Amino acid sequence: MNLNALDLNLVRVLDALLREKSVTRAGEQIGLSQPAVSAALNRLRHALNDQLFVRRGNDMVPTPRAESLAEPVRAALREIERAFQPATDFDPARLERTFTLMGADFFSMLLMPPFAARIAAVAPGVSFRFLDSAIGDVSKLLQEDRIDLALERPLEVAEWVSSVALFGSPFAIIAAKDNAALCQAGIAEGEEVPLDFFCALPHALRSIDGSMSGFTDDALGRIGLA
């Protein structure tokens, strides 16, 4: 394609449309009128030789071509913004921002109190919002800038997502001292429970999102015991 047919404003319009799925809302986000956004969309369609968006009810649904452009366009705009930002020394004490984190309540109870206390000491203008991990796919939420960080068990994520292992957490089985199954198997308190014995026991699953398997099932499946 001819890059002379595109300018930065068109790229901003495309990014806004991909985020908002609405001509009106996209215009409000970037400060353009609805006719201006519609005109820009027509130019984009001509330049890229694709409809890019089709109307479905009140929403504009992206075509596969438009969806494939979402992350590259967003990344390009971030790089352009970074390039034109003034070179200043970062001072966390002057930062005012709310970061959105996602994870299970396990992480919020274990990590957030000491983490928030440490951040408050050096960056008092920073606050955190913690969302439950059941709200959706990590890669998609990061791509849409709906979250800044996810605290999760090992997951399959998009190649562009950076991740690092923070810690490991062992499993423990809690049972009554006179549990019939454990007593019959001769397993004393503090002893390791064999996996085949554990798998043979009846189980109940607490599921936030309604799925019929959990991460324990995933781990057992990887060693052929699901």
Q: What is the CATH number of the domain that holds 143?
A: 3.40.190.10
* 63/112 same-domain check: no
What's the length of the chain?
226
Q: In terms of residue numbers, what domain contains 184?
A: 180-222
Identity of the amino acid at 124? P
| Domain harbouring 46, CATH code | 1.10.10.10
pLDDT in tens, the chain (226 residues): 555 667 888 999 999 999 889 999 899 888 899 999 999 999 999 989 999 999 888 788 999 999 999 989 988 888 888 888 776 778 899 889 999 999 888 788 888 889 889 999 999 999 999 888 767 788 888 888 889 999 887 777 778 888 888 887 777 888 888 889 988 999 888 888 888 888 888 888 777 667 777 778 877 888 887 6
**Residue 11 in domain:** yes
Q: Please state, as a whole number, how many other Cβ atoms lie within 10 Å of the Cβ of residue 94.
A: 10
* 77/104 same-domain check: no
Place of tokens 């923070």: 166
**Residue 162 in domain:** no
For residue 98, how far is the Cα from the chain centroid? 16
**Residue 157 in domain:** no
Identity of the amino acid at 213? S
Count of domains observed in the chain: 3
- The torsion angles phi and psi of 97, rounded to 5 degrees, stand at -160, 150
HEC assignment per residue over 9-41 = HHHHHHHHHHHHCCHHHHHHHHCCCHHHHHHHH
* Among 67, 84, 101, residue at a domain's last position: 84
Distance CA 151, CA 101 (A): 7
* 76/99 same-domain check: no
Cβ partners under 8 Å of residue 134, min gap 6 = 208, 209
* Among 26, 52, 84, residue at a domain's last position: 84
